[in-house]
């Protein structure tokens, strides 16, 4: 069975837990099991590619956590670089497969450049990061609106891939809908296939309008209340599953401390010492461990 190509772009300044990203995306894109080195087997359904922004203001903690997931899945990715740096951009820029081809440095605005790249990709999806539904920067909201206008689906990774619609972007105007045809006397005309035109009386128009208002109210409640409740329930289920997952013991854990950040070390048999691992995947024969950074 041929794999379905999907291009994932990501934007947002919000913080997000790494295990939330891993659990959500692994489940959604059917990634395989994790091996003893922390890498995931490829999906048997999707061929994934990623677009990641790099710059002083766009490479947030959440973006870096997404990049870590991309590396653990060994996915190809490209970087939209605005030639500014912060403490996280080195990782993203230094791990591309081919810097000359995979780093775009002519993107003055990685947000709008992101939408342009996604619009040309096959089966694109824009992932955004929010703080409980609030975008911490106008860049992400503007890009989400631009993506919706291009017909690109937008999902909030911070809320378990909740679909973003125009109701989540109150400061942006959706595209104007085509106006309904109106007869000279003010009645709306309904054309059904090739049949003769049908005109409605004022009372019939009022009845149809009332039906449409009820349907719109129902849709608003469905997407505004039930979907948000479902997202909260899904978040609780994923969090509960992550708590049940076995965790490798680290020196900090054995002393009753929870490290905020860890790094990978490789045992050097020549020196008899543990040494920091470099970029890329360690050799299969190497002994590895994770220690507090």
User: 188: which DSSP letter?
Assistant: B
The gap from C-alpha 121 to its chain's centroid, in whole angstroms, comes to 16
Q: What is the CA radius of gyration of the chain?
A: 24
Residue predicted with more confidence, 279 or 27: 27
Query: Does 269 score more than 60 pLDDT?
Result: yes
Measured at the CA of 127, the angle between CA 118 and CA 41, to 5 degrees, comes to 95
Which sign does the torsion angle of CA 268, 274, 278, 283 carry?
A: positive
Report the distance separating Cα 67 and Cα 34, nearest Å: 17
The pLDDT value recorded for residue 177 is: 65
Confidence band (pLDDT; 50, 70, 90) for 147?
very high
- Would you tell me how many other CB atoms lie within 10 Å of the CB of residue 207? 12
Provide DSSP, 104-170: E---SSHHHHHHHHHHTSSSEEEEE--BTTB-SSHHHHHHHHHHHHTT--EEEGGGTTEEP-GGG-T
% of the chain surpassing 70 pLDDT: 75
The pLDDT value recorded for residue 238 is: 62
Report the distance separating Cα 148 and Cα 124, nearest Å: 11
Quick: pLDDT tens for 116-142.
999 999 999 999 999 888 887 888 999
User: What is the pTM assigned to this prediction?
Assistant: 0.63
Query: Does 143 score more than 90 pLDDT?
Result: yes
Least confidently predicted of 234-238, 258-262, 280-284: 258-262
Query: Does 248 score more than 50 pLDDT?
Result: no
Residue predicted with more confidence, 148 or 178: 148
Confidence band (pLDDT; 50, 70, 90) for 155?
very high
Query: CA torsion, points 94, 96, 99, 101, in degrees to nearest 10?
Result: -160
Confidence band (pLDDT; 50, 70, 90) for 264?
confident
The pLDDT value recorded for residue 28 is: 95
Query: Does 174 score more than 50 pLDDT?
Result: yes
Least confidently predicted of 45-49, 89-93, 246-250: 246-250
Report the distance separating Cα 17 and Cα 37, nearest Å: 20
**227 contact partners, CB below 8 Å, separation of at least 6:** 162, 163
Least confidently predicted of 56-70, 73-87, 192-206: 192-206
Query: Does 254 score more than 50 pLDDT?
Result: no
Quick: pLDDT tens for 80-114.
998 899 999 999 999 999 999 999 986 767 788 89
Question: For the residues 212-237, what does the mean pLDDT come to?
Answer: 71
The pLDDT value recorded for residue 217 is: 76
User: What residues are paired with 6 via a beta bridge?
Assistant: 48
């Amino acid at each position: 069975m041929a794999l379905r190509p999907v291009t994932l772009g990501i934007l947002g300044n919000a913080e997000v837990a790494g295990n939330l990203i891993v659990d959500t995306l692994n489940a959604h894109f059917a990634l395989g099991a994790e091996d003893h080195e922390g890498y995931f087997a490829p999906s048997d359904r999707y061929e994934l590619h990623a677009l990641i922004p790099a710059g002083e203001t766009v490479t947030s903690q959440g973006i870096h956590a997404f990049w870590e997931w991309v590396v653990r899945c060994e996915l190809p990715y490209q970087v939209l670089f605005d030639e500014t740096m912060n403490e996280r951009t080195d990782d993203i820029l230094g791990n591309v497969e081919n810097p000359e081809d995979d780093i775009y440095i002519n993107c003055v605005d990685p947000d709008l450049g992101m939408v342009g790249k996604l619009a040309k990709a096959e089966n694109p999806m824009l992932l955004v990061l929010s703080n409980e539904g609030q975008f911490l920067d106008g860049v992400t909201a503007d890009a989400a609106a631009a993506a919706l206008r291009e017909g690109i689906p937008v999902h909030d990774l911070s809320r378990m891939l909740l679909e973003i619609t125009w109701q989540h972007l109150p400061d942006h105007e959706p595209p104007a809908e085509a106006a309904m045809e109106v007869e000279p006397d003010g009645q709306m005309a309904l054309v059904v296939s090739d049949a003769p035109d049908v005109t409605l009386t004022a009372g019939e128009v009022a009845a149809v309008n009332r039906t449409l208002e009820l349907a719109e109210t129902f849709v608003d409640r469905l997407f505004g209340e039930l979907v948000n409740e479902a997202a909260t329930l899904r978040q609780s289920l994923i969090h509960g599953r992550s708590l049940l997952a076995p965790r490798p013991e680290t020196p900090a854990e054995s002393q009753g401390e929870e490290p905020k950040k860890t790094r990978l070390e490789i045992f050097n048999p020549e020196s008899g010492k543990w040494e920091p691992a470099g970029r890329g995947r360690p050799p299969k024969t190497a002994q590895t461990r994770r220690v507090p950074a």
